[in-house]
Structure 1
Amino acid sequence: MKIAVMGAGAVGCYYGAMLARAWHEVTLIGRPTHVEAMNRDGLLLDLGTSQEYVAVTGSTEASSVDGAELILFCVKSTDTEDAGQQIKPFIGKDTIILSLQNGVDNAERLGQVLGQPVIPVVVYVATSMGGAGHVKHHGRGELVIGMSSQSQVVADTLRPARIPVEISENADGALWAKMILNCAYNALSAITQTPYGELVKQDGVWDVMRNAVDECLAVAAACGVTVPGDVWGAIEKIVETMPAQFSSTAQDLARGKPSEIDYLNGYIVRKGREFGIATPTNLALHAITRLRELKGVAG
């Protein structure tokens, strides 16, 4: 299958590499330094126990999605509308589009821009960029995709590439479950520049996380969302499955780049105000992260 990845960051590069290893024709659209390295050497996939260069095509142009049967949309939540407008002229009516993004409303926002359905995807993977054209995998890798007429085709494409896939009838709830996990970890990891395993060893951290989660669940209930599974159990398990992982927000701040915090804890704060629900812990985490972000960008 001809596949395009819009947003060749850590998530996009990991799944693009896995699909390319399964002999799909993969084009990764990203920043010039990454594109140059991938076109020169291939994409270096670092699985911890092994490394290999994977043959992919790199591009800086959104027009490179032209002709793709499947698009993995992996840009930051802050860039959803802009990136959507860039690819809109080059996608077909039968193109399958997956939103592999943090937050709960990206698929809806992107669908409004494109004028066609977008399948929401919940991503559970620990990855980071080790340099230009170099993606590092730290753990997990499963996806939960929303139910649609195209979902089975997606699953049948991804599973042979060693990408675990679950098709869910409650994609909204699954997205909220992931966002709540992000609300618990991302800001704290970013503010302290600490990986998850070390983060939770500090006094009071679990209590802060518990308060943030309780606020998120109250807001989810007000939004009419049923959050599946044991949310707190999943949050505790992250320490076991991804102890060395820094949150994506922490990685953004470390590079001096804007983060997605407005679409995580900030989203909870906005929705809480809308429904008259107090969210003091999420408010504090959002505000402090924004201050650190502005300091990093300015510095």
Structure 2
Amino acid sequence: MRILVVGAGATGGAFGTLLQEAGRDVTYLVRPRKQEVLGRDGLRFISPTADRTHPVKTITGPDASGAFDLILITVKATAFEGVVGGIGAFVGLETSIIPILNGMAHVDRLEQLYPGQVLGGLARIVATLDGDVVRQQTALTSLTVGGLNGNAVPAEVAQELNVPGIDFSLVDDIVGALWEKWAFIAAAGIVNCLFRAPVGRIIDAGGEPRIMEAISETEAVAAAAGHPVSDAGHGQAVGLLTERGSAFTSSLYRDLSAGLPSEAEHILGDLARRARELNVATPLLDLTLIQIRAGLQG
């Protein structure tokens, strides 16, 4: 299959490298500056087990490439709208599209544009972009995919993605899995952004009850939407967000603290909107959004 990876950042660069190393036909859709760097230096991916650099195929927009068989969208939500309108030239009638982003708004948007061709995707990887180098901090590299609206994942798509280095799995309820992850990252975002500190310091300051309230809020929205968080998912969230002495901070908080574009509206704003539609009270979520939005205006 011809695979188009939209974005060559931490997630796209890592998964794209592993697919390429397994002999898959991978092309990256990137900005012109990124194309220049990759053309000159190649794509360098440093994982806990290897440091390698590969030449890669890149495009910057519609050209003679035609339709791809599989499109992986790996950009952050802040860049999503900028790329979603530009992939149309690469989508054929048999193209499968897997967005790997947090939240759910992107799934709804793609389903409107390409009904029946979108699959749910959930990646777990701890990686960052250091300049133009992809650095992976832990060995965790998993990709979970599932069909939407009763559609099955094509067998050839599953076969293409099941490669060494990627812990690949298919699930029946990918929407539930996406909501479960969303509930957690939203709770983490509330906790860190509202109290402006790592988890351990928040607990030391007496904030553990508020942490539990934040978890309850986001999980209540998921439940009202028809996707209750599993006991295992709840336990994991509580464990990570109430660990004494923990230096854990959410990526949303880190981006905001660094003055970088953030996924605040995609993760928190969209969840608050859905909470209102479902008549679920989310006072801590609402306070966090006020703080973030007021700070951005300042």
Q: TM-score by structure 2 length?
A: 0.84
Quote the offset at 1:277 in angstroms: 1.9
* Runs of at least 4 residues off by over 4 Å: 62-65, 187-196, 198-202, 236-240, 243-246, 292-295
CA deviations 1:95-130 (Å, max 9, x no partner) are 121011110232221121234420011222111101
Corresponding position: 1:226 with 2:225: no
Give the distance between the partners of 1:211 and 1:64, measured in 2 at CA.
53
Give the distance between the partners of 2:296 and 2:46, measured in 1 at CA.
28
Quote the offset at 1:58 in angstroms: 3.0
**Number of paired residues?**
291
What are the equivalent positions in structure 2 for 1:77-116 lying under 5 Å apart?
A: 77-116=77-116
Identity among equivalent positions (%) equals 29
Quote the offset at 1:4 in angstroms: 0.9
Partner of 1:261: 264
Give the distance between the partners of 2:10 and 2:230, measured in 1 at CA.
27
- 3-state secondary structure, aligned to 1:103: coil
Partner of 2:176: 173
What are the equivalent positions in structure 2 for 1:45-84 lying under 5 Å apart?
A: 45-61=45-61, 63=63, 66-84=66-84
Quote the offset at 1:63 in angstroms: 4.7
CA deviations 1:73-103 (Å, max 9, x no partner) are 1233354454222111331111121011110
Corresponding position: 1:235 with 2:234: no
What are the equivalent positions in structure 2 for 1:1-299 lying under 5 Å apart?
A: 1-61=1-61, 63=63, 66-132=66-132, 134-139=133-138, 140-147=140-147, 148-189=151-192, 202-236=204-238, 247-253=250-256, 256-295=259-298
Q: Which has the larger radius of gyration?
A: 2
- Paired letter, 2:286: L
- 3-state secondary structure, aligned to 2:144: strand
- Paired letter, 1:99: P
Give the distance between the partners of 2:57 and 2:192, measured in 1 at CA.
33
- Paired letter, 1:181: F
Q: Which moved more, 1:171-180 or 1:206-215?
A: 206-215
Quote the offset at 1:55 in angstroms: 2.6
Give the distance between the partners of 1:65 and 1:195, measured in 2 at CA.
46
- Paired letter, 1:42: G
- 3-state secondary structure, aligned to 1:287: helix
CA contact (8 A) 1:268 1:279 kept: no
- 3-state secondary structure, aligned to 2:87: helix
Give the distance between the partners of 2:285 and 2:73, measured in 1 at CA.
27
Quote the offset at 1:234 in angstroms: 2.1
Question: How large is the RMSD of aligned CA atoms in angstroms?
Answer: 2.9
- 3-state secondary structure, aligned to 2:4: strand
Quote the offset at 1:150 in angstroms: 3.0
- 3-state secondary structure, aligned to 1:95: strand
- 3-state secondary structure, aligned to 1:125: strand
Give the distance between the partners of 2:51 and 2:122, measured in 1 at CA.
26
The 1:10/1:262 distance shift into structure 2, 3 A limit, reads same
CA contact (8 A) 1:144 1:165 kept: yes
- Paired letter, 1:166: S
Structure with the largest fraction of helix? 1
CA contact (8 A) 2:24 2:160 kept: no
The 1:273/1:43 distance shift into structure 2, 3 A limit, reads same
- Paired letter, 2:51: Q
CA contact (8 A) 2:190 2:284 kept: no
Q: TM-score by structure 1 length?
A: 0.84
